[in-house]
Structure 1
């Protein structure tokens, strides 16, 4: 009974948050807590039921194996990213995360066997901190999938396409995917009798020959979109500016109905959170991304969401670290 109640409480908060606003960051946390409680509930129910206990034991074994293989998978992905995309910090994230996980596992395995209480306590504390970060990561990853697969897919008056880097003046595949998704939305609403406009947004980078907005507009017009239905916003340099400047342009032109922003799938939920923080009423839809690019890209999104609340997460990590140290002192 208690296990069922512990599941129903976070599940109820999750459903309520989804109904109120799907862009709430807390929805991801409630989803993660509800899933943990669900696993505990299933374990409690299946304790004396072999029909449930065997699949649960197998699932637990797979989770352990997956956890042990995760650092190696991140290292492999990091090497692919460096080879294909270069050695920027963003492209190195999966490689660095894999090294950090291997280091934490090695330190925990070594430290937990040491006679010194402080060494054992620090090993336990680092394990708890890693578990906390892993919980947040998995919660945000799962909720990003939930958010990306729910909501409207048509009925928009404005379609905002967020910019991404150019190669000189050429639209690369990553950005082309966003534009192609926007065109599908545009044609779907045109077929339904609506008259949506597409806002292409993005300024000119130091290594770019033209603004992102200009290159995006040319891409759309070359593929049959009427130039009258494409609005350029060529000043923005961040996602926050992409959203606010584009929404202002739509309002100036009298487009005050439903608006959707299009970006790549790994960037969807953070864009939704930013739009909510700005008080903008819009939905975000994702475009496909090359498989090898997703891990590093989502790690960037995860870090960007974490640093929005540095005090909360910093205090949580300090408490967990202190708890690990305290456990060995009590023992």
Structure 2
């Protein structure tokens, strides 16, 4: 009976996943539904092994699971630490470049230093604080994982619809030239446009306070140098951020589109940036698909953390409400234990 219930719930999660993938792929519920599917399949395997009395296999799986849980925190800390040092060496010690290193230091403090300097077992108050922090860390980690999974699935396209406009998001200049990171975005859009042999590319980016020309103008010039027909290019040179990239590009699309119905739009940016860009597009009422360009791992990991923080900033009200309820629970629990103790 339990097998049937778990299998039914898993099937429902599969249906939800595919509905979201085609209707609302930019919501993190896509990642949550995928994790639910994996959990359901894992539970089904466990139940089948139990019913078949495969104790030796269960023991091996249990030991493997414990080993993974033991090694994973050390592995994560090591990756963040090495990546942070490498990024600082290559890109400089700006605040935006130390996020992965700060993440590593925070995990070390949380996992190693805090339990050693504070004996939480002798104080209900400290124990309650620690439990709340543990819950918060688990919650934010869960959201981070679902955000990453959702981002990955927004880079995967099961079908290949014809795109009428590719919106390439700007990313800073080096003098009057595009940076290698920005060139990667432009090259990705050019490849996609040539592959389907139709559609226009919008180069979107205004002039920053430290830039000599607008990013959109430099991007257009670079695309022409790569052999793309200027008739296929539209330049947007007023935007200051991702939200304006999308907003002003849509205005140019409305002025240029002469076909029937609504044009199909695609946002082209780096892999780590696709999901948040799609979320911002959805907030403006635009349904877009996303394509990502590759960047070096040491840069991508830090940039992804930055994107995750930006996502939390956008959705802070929801997370604040959830964590407030968690805090209220622990406050009530503390006073109950205080009265009972």
For normalisation by structure 1, the TM-score amounts to: 0.89
| Corresponding residue number in structure 1 for 2:230 | 227
Structure 1 unpaired stretches of 5+ = none
| Corresponding residue number in structure 2 for 1:175 | 182
> Where does 1:112-123 land on structure 2 (aligned, <5 Å)?
114-123=121-130
| 1:276 Cα offset (Å) | 1.3
Q: Which has the greater radius of gyration? A: 2
Between the aligned partners of 1:304 and 1:164, the Cα distance in structure 2 is 16
For 1:139-163, what per-residue CA distance to the aligned partner results, in whole angstroms no more than 9, with x for missing partners?
A: 1112211221125445222111111
For 1:13-51, what per-residue CA distance to the aligned partner results, in whole angstroms no more than 9, with x for missing partners?
A: 333322322223322233334434444444444454333
Higher RCO (Cα < 8 Å, 6 or more apart): 1
For normalisation by structure 2, the TM-score amounts to: 0.87
| Corresponding residue number in structure 2 for 1:218 | 221
**Count of residues in correspondence between the two structures:** 327
> Where does 1:6-25 land on structure 2 (aligned, <5 Å)?
6-25=9-28
| 1:247 Cα offset (Å) | 1.7
8 Å CA contact 2:25–2:150 kept in 1: the answer is: no
Structure 2 CA distance for partners of 1:45 and 1:127, relative to 1, 3 Å: farther
| Corresponding residue number in structure 2 for 1:301 | 307
Q: What's the C-alpha RMSD, in Å, of the aligned pairs? A: 2.4
8 Å CA contact 2:28–2:150 kept in 1: the answer is: no
**3-state DSSP of counterpart to 1:285:** strand
Deviation larger for 176-185 or 96-105: 96-105
For 1:26-77, what per-residue CA distance to the aligned partner results, in whole angstroms no more than 9, with x for missing partners?
A: 2223333443444444444445433355245314422430123312321221
Structure 2 CA distance for partners of 1:46 and 1:143, relative to 1, 3 Å: farther
Structure 2 CA distance for partners of 1:20 and 1:135, relative to 1, 3 Å: same
Structure 2 unpaired stretches of 5+ = none
| Corresponding residue number in structure 2 for 1:54 | 60
For 1:180-220, what per-residue CA distance to the aligned partner results, in whole angstroms no more than 9, with x for missing partners?
A: 10110111122xxx3x1111000011111111111101111
Deviation larger for 297-306 or 107-116: 107-116
